[in-house]
Amino acid sequence: AFIHKKCRNTDIPYLHSNVHRFVVPEDKIKWSTEYPEYNPPDYTASSAIGKPYSDDKLEGIKWNNIDGKVNRISHIVNYSFDSKGRPLNPMGRTGLQGRGILGRWGPNHAADPLVTRCKNGRVQFVAIQRHDTGEWAIPGGMVDAGEEISATLKREFSEEALGGKDLRQLDALWKNKKELYRGYVDDPRNTDNAWMETVCVNFHDETGLLNDVELEAADDAKAVKWVDITTTEPLYASHVQFINILRQHLKI
Ligand code: RP5
Ligand code: MG
Ligand code: MG
């Protein structure tokens, strides 16, 4: 599947900045294709420096490894490096160097809980509206240093869709899981040197546990709602692809 488009968007400036990406035509995406004119701006936002989760220097990082508590292994490839020793986006050029607003050089790992139920004969999922771009999305967020992905999935769902509540009555939900996707995300924040990867896991509510739970947007989310999985509405990053993988499994 072709998933390297939103991170090449030149219609709008890079998120929270006035920096524009260098144009990368489709036939110039691959690093192996010569593109002598390629001269992307080098941008790392000041908001992405000096944070507990930010890589403020390149020295000493154990690339392609578990580096202390930080997983620097890509789900898809052993990544290589540019002339400054910075990881190269395995999907190719994005028109921007640096980290942008991402914290880590190389892969920035996330986890996305795709929570579904059947209602009136239709399969629905919990969608949140993101504060940053205003787009609707599957809930999800960064895997904290040392955190198990299974914990990130629950934590992010609770933070973004349950108003931070950790509901014991949902324990059964977390057991009914199916991994749908593990890999690169076509995220608008990606750069030539830093990119999003995720694990998207479907949790299906077989017994109506969520029918009595009030969804409440919080944290990264400004709104939350149930959406039919046959929706044709656009979603953030590659999230439509994750919905499509689920639809293929369910044959709907
Ligand atoms: C996307 O960004 C992932 O699929 C995940 O949904 C999200 C994680 O970033 P934050 O929501 O923490 O900004 O690439
Ligand atoms: Mg979050
Ligand atoms: Mg989030």
- Structural domains in the chain? 109-250 (3.90.79.10)
200 CA closest ligand 1 atom index:
4
8-state DSSP, 152: H
Tokens of 204: 């299906």
Ligand found nearest the CA of 164:
2
Beta bridge partners of 107: 195
Closest CA to ligand 1's atom 11:
141
Closest CA to ligand 1's atom 6:
140
- Rounded-to-integer distance, Cα 209 and Cα 61, Å: 44
Burial of 39 (0-12, 13-18, 19+ CB in 10 A): exposed
How many angstroms is it from 39 CA to the middle of ligand 3? 31
Closest CA to 227 of 208, 245, 240, 212: 240
220 CA closest ligand 1 atom index:
11
How do strand 106-119 and strand 122-130 relate by DSSP bridges? antiparallel
> To test ligand 1's pocket by mutation, which of 155, 187, 202 has the most ligand atoms within 8 angstroms of CB?
187
Q: Helix or strand or coil: residue 42?
A: strand
How many angstroms is it from 57 CA to the middle of ligand 1? 23
The pLDDT profile of the chain, 252 residues, written as one tens digit per residue, is 458 999 999 999 999 999 999 999 999 999 999 999 999 999 999 999 999 999 999 999 999 999 999 999 999 999 999 999 999 999 999 999 999 999 999 999 999 999 999 999 999 999 999 999 999 999 999 999 999 999 999 999 999 999 999 889 899 999 999 999 999 999 999 999 999 999 999 999 999 999 989 999 999 999 999 999 999 999 999 999 999 999 999 999
189 CA closest ligand 1 atom index:
14
Question: What amino acid is encoded at 160 in this protein?
Answer: E
Inter-residue contact 217 to 165 (CB < 8 Å): no
For the complex shown, is ipTM > 0.95?
A: yes
Q: Distance of CA 81 to CAs 36, 88, 110, 194, Å?
A: 18, 5, 22, 11
Here the contacts of 207-211 (C-beta below 8 Å, separation 24 or greater) are 207/172, 208/117, 209/169, 209/170, 209/172, 209/173, 210/115, 210/117, 210/126, 210/170, 210/173, 211/117, 211/119
> To test ligand 1's pocket by mutation, which of 147, 152, 185, 189 has the most ligand atoms within 8 angstroms of CB?
185
Backbone angles phi, psi at 62, to 5 degrees: -90, 90
CB count within 10 Å of CB 167 equals 14
Inter-residue contact 103 to 55 (CB < 8 Å): yes
- Rounded-to-integer distance, Cα 248 and Cα 16, Å: 36
138 CA closest ligand 1 atom index:
6
CB-defined site of ligand 1, < 6 Å = 110, 112, 137-138, 140-142, 185, 187, 196, 198, 220, 237
Query: What pLDDT digit, counting tens, does each position of 90-143 carry?
Result: 999 999 999 999 999 999 999 999 999 999 999 999 999 999 999 999 999 999
Ion ligand 2 nearby residues (CB, 5 A):
141, 156, 220
Inter-residue contact 94 to 190 (CB < 8 Å): yes
- Rounded-to-integer distance, Cα 160 and Cα 107, Å: 23
